[in-house]
Structures are given as structure tokens and as C-alpha cells.
Amino acid sequence: MSLICAQNLEFAHGGQTVLHAVNLTLAPGEIVTIVGPNGSGKSTLFRLLIGALQPHKGQVIRKPGLRIGYVPQKLHIDPTLPITVGRFLNLPQRVSVGDARQALEIAGVPGIRDQQMAQLSGGQFQRVLLARALLGKPDVLMLDEATQGLDQPGSASFYRQIDAVRRDMGCAVLMISHELHVVMSASDRVICLNGHVCCEGTPEVVSAAPAYRELFGTGTGGALALYRHDHDHAHDHDHPHTHTHEAAE
């Protein structure tokens, strides 16, 4: 059964149709990326999938009891506010030290519980947001432009972490990204959105699709090699994972 199934969604902001005839499914354990130009409706679609907005037509079916972990674009914390990573993870709900440690470990930042949030690098900060999303043991992790402000190697490294999280926790991942060339190849499936679904499929299929090329040009082809994610492996969460990355560190 799909975790999320959106059927024939239509949505308008202030009378202006932003999304129409959008269908989307997310299966357990999948990494799906939504790409699209500015204003193409990606964030609106996310809000519909979460249930923060109601579609004007169509429906969103979520698996009963579905747990969603959300990683925002960024979070501003006043740099003068003294707050450690451990205390931040206790907001808004207290969590056990063991759970906090485990989430930080899975997010790739073990041992930073006592550091000040203001002193973290951009990549560490996003991993703490990731750890916080993992505390709820999500079935689906949703990331909205979670690597804004990171440089390309930093983003590639973050997305490798996402793949590791998926492997460790077995959760599905749905993300929005502008960094097509970095994130596309970290995905099992890519959905190219521009008010409607222009094309979808594996990164290779989408990057070659005329609709995608019309929107984004052909300039990202070579950069796909920056972070290759081979699709010749099974996503069996109980066994060691064998796939190769040729990533820019």
C-alpha cells in the first residue's frame, strides 16, 4: 500500500490555479524528489500532501496513522540565544537522552549534543533539523529545500546522509530541491512539476525528457556524475547495502 497517494489534485491561491491534475504516489522506502522552477507549486503540493491545505479538487489519501517527519528549508535561531543541540531536540517535547543520541547518530552528527546551536556549521545545523525530524520515527521524511545555503559538496554529502537514514530507518523520503544535478541522482524517482506533472521517472529518464529539458535546459547532464547512485541494488533494510558513489567530497 502507498504511504501517500494524491489523486487529480487541483489547488488555486486567490483564484489563480497553481496545481491541476496532479497525481503522486509514495511507496514505503522510496526516495522521490520534486523538482520545478520557482512558483511551480512545489511547496503548495507539499502542504496538500501533509494536510495543511485542502485540495479544491481531487484527494490525498494517507496511510492511516502515517507519521511524517518534516525538515524545513531553514530555521532562524537568534545567535545570541544560548541553546545547546540537546536542549533544542527537547523542543517542543522532551525526549530521552538515548533517543536524542540515536537520532543525532543516524543524522550523521554524533557527539554534538552539548554544542551550541549558534556554533554549528550549516551542514551540521541541517543534520540537527534532520535528527529532530527523526525523533518521531517517521514513515515519511519530507524535506523542503533542506540544503539551501550549503555549497555543492555540502549538499551532496547531506543527500548521502539522507540515503543512509533511509537505509537505517526504512522510511520513505519526499523532497523538494532546486539542486537538480545533485539531488536528482540521489533519488529513486524524480517528479518534474510545473503546475502539473511534466514528466516523472528515474533521474536518467527525467533528465533526458523533452519537458524537463525545456524547463531546465541540458546543462545538468554532466553534473549528474557528481553524485551517482546506482540502481542495481535492492533496498533491503536488514542487510548491508552495496552501492557506489562517485561523489565530490
Instruction: Tell me which residues touch ligand ATP (CB under 6 A).
Output: 13-14, 18, 36, 38-44
Q: What are the grid coordinates assigned to 132, written together?
A: 529532530
Cβ distance to ligand ATP smaller for residue 19 or 117: 19
Give whichever of 14 and 92 is closer to ligand ATP, judged by the CB atom. 14
Residue 18 C-beta: closest distance to ligand ATP, Å: 4
Residue 94 C-beta: closest distance to ligand ATP, Å = 33
In whole angstroms, how close is the CB of 197 to ligand ATP at the nearest point?
Answer: 13
Least distance in angstroms from the C-beta of 178 to ligand ATP: 7
Question: In the chain, what is the straight-line distance between the N-terminal and C-terminal CA atoms, in Å?
Answer: 37
Q: What are the angstrom distances between the C-alpha of 215 and each of 4, 123, 190?
A: 27, 29, 14
Minimum CB separation of residue 6 from ligand ATP in Å reads 14
Between 18 and 171, whose beta carbon lies closer to ligand ATP?
A: 18
d(CA 13, CA 17): 6
Q: How far is CA 227 from the centre of its chain?
A: 16
**Residue nearer to ligand ATP on the CB measure, 44 or 220:** 44
Q: Which is nearer to ligand ATP, 40 or 157 (CB)?
A: 40
Minimum Å gap between C-beta 55 and ligand ATP is 13
Please state, in angstroms and rounded to a whole number, the distance separating the CA atoms of residues 236 and 238: 6
Which of 88-96's residues contact partners 24+ apart within 8 Å by CB, and which partners?
88/117, 88/128, 88/132, 89/113, 89/128, 89/131, 89/132, 89/135, 95/135
User: Which residue is listed with cell 544560548?
Assistant: 82
Q: How far apart are CA 108 and CA 124, in angstroms?
A: 8
Which residue's CB is nearer to ligand ATP, number 13 or number 233?
13
Amino acid 95 reads: V
